[in-house]
Amino acid sequence: MTDSSEKQCSIDWDINEAENRLILHLDEEFLGSAIYPVVIDPTVSGPSNTYDTYASRANPDTNYYLNNYLRTGKDEPYGIRRLFLKFNLPSIENKYPIKSAKIQIKLKSNSGSIGQFNYKRIITSWSSSAVTWWNSPDCESTEYHSSSVSNGILTIGGSDPTGIIPKMVRRWRVGLYPNYGIKLYYSDESSTSVWQTFYSSDYSDLTCHPKLIIEIYTGYSSYKKKPISDFYGGGTSGGNYIVLDGSELPVIYQSKLAIAVSRWNTYCSSSHFSIGTSDNKVIINNNIPGWGKYTPYSNHFLIEVSKTQIDQEKDWDDIIISVLEHEMGHALGIADNDDSSRVNAYRCTQMGYGRDRDTFLYPSNSDIYGVNDVWN
């Protein structure tokens, strides 16, 4: 939270899973000495969490990071201008998947009509205090498009879990991409009379700062149980202990199996996995349809993964984890979330068919609740 003098204080928080509520614990000492009004903002904003600047083609050696505004478009004095923006991500426990994410920047002024903006993911490190036109950070080649300004706000991303910004933020969160932010620029850089000015993180009014707004999914009632006859727990006396035998897997797959085992074991209260010699085999089978397959037998089960399917993906080494965790979820007694009309379960759980497999790398709170309910 931040008071009117821009003095800041961190906030401790808890999630009430039964009521889907976020509970904030405010520092009374800070509030007692604060200059009001005090902004309590769960989004990532403010000078300490937001890095922004812009560059001008007409002034290629000039850095503008101390300006309280950001500029895009083109005019005679400055030529083409492009802005650079990145956010520190909040610390959120991995069992709470990111459902949606969007970036919002507030328009200060403009010349000419405002149409579409383009953006690219930045792939090299940069500092807002050093960026100029000449040393601007590199970006991936793929160009993405955002809608125009609406009610004075440019919004990039939205509520669709499969959208570009939600997927990008999830990749930043799990380390698939370095978090270097985005480059934003106006789609029409040919006209000398069309430009836009946005508020930067150095502007005095905190409500005008650029924002990264993240929605997490904390639900726990979206799982489906498998019939008890359709899975085998492989229990030992005194506890529920499932031994997986991945000795026939390639070495890289064995290492990913160990990660998947660790992540299920971290969160499940009464059932867990181990790796060793067992009839519960985890193998490669390139003839199965899709990514993976779980087959129960009378006293053991078989997990098969399609190396052919996985290896053709860009982030195949992380997709392995998601596929293994999904099939292990069946061994623990929870079913596929395959109903696309149940969007949260379908998109935002490890058992969801529509999940983003290269960024959903942990059992979700819903998956964990389902497993604990089966075994307790």
Q: DSSP 3-state assignment of 343?
A: helix
Number of C-beta neighbours around residue 303 at 10 A: 25
Residue ranges of the chain that CATH labels 2.60.120? 42-216
Whether residue 200 has pLDDT greater than 90: yes
The predicted model gives 238-266 an average pLDDT of 88
Is residue 144 a contact partner of residue 164, using CB atoms and an 8 Å limit?
yes
Rounded distance, CA 89 to CA 216, Å? 13
Q: How many CB atoms lie within 10 A of CB 340?
A: 12
| pLDDT 10s digits, 102-135 | 999 999 999 888 889 999 999 999 999 999 999 9
Nearest alpha carbon to residue 330 among 289, 287, 282, 286:
282
Greater confidence (55 vs 173) lies with: 55
Fold assignment, 228-375: Collagenase (Catalytic Domain) (3.40.390)
Q: And the tokens for 116?
A: 């579409």
Q: Which segments of the chain belong to CATH 3.40.390.10? A: 228-375
CATH of 42-216, one of 1.10.1740, 2.60.120, 1.25.10, 1.25.40: 2.60.120
How far, in Å, are 223, 268, 357 from residue 363 at the CA level? 12, 9, 12
Q: Where are the beta strands (DSSP E) in the chain?
A: 12-16, 21-25, 50-56, 69-75, 79-87, 98-111, 117-121, 144-146, 153-158, 182-186, 193-199, 211-216, 240-244, 271-275, 281-284, 292-296, 301-305
Higher per-residue pLDDT: 55 or 335? 55
User: Is it the case that residue 322 has pLDDT exceeding 90?
Assistant: yes
Q: Is 70 exceeded by the pLDDT of residue 17?
A: no
Distance, in Å, from the CA atom of 137 to the CA atom of 181, rounded to the nearest integer, reads: 10
Question: CA-to-CA distance for 352 and 317, rounded, in angstroms?
Answer: 19
d(CA 76, CA 55) in angstroms, rounded, equals 15
pLDDT tens-place string over residues 44-74: 444 568 999 999 999 999 999 999 999 999 9
pTM, full prediction: 0.77
| φ, ψ at 51 (rounded to 5°) | -125, 125
Q: In this predicted model, what pLDDT tens digit does every residue of 70-105 receive, in sequence order?
A: 999 998 888 999 999 999 988 777 888 888 899 999
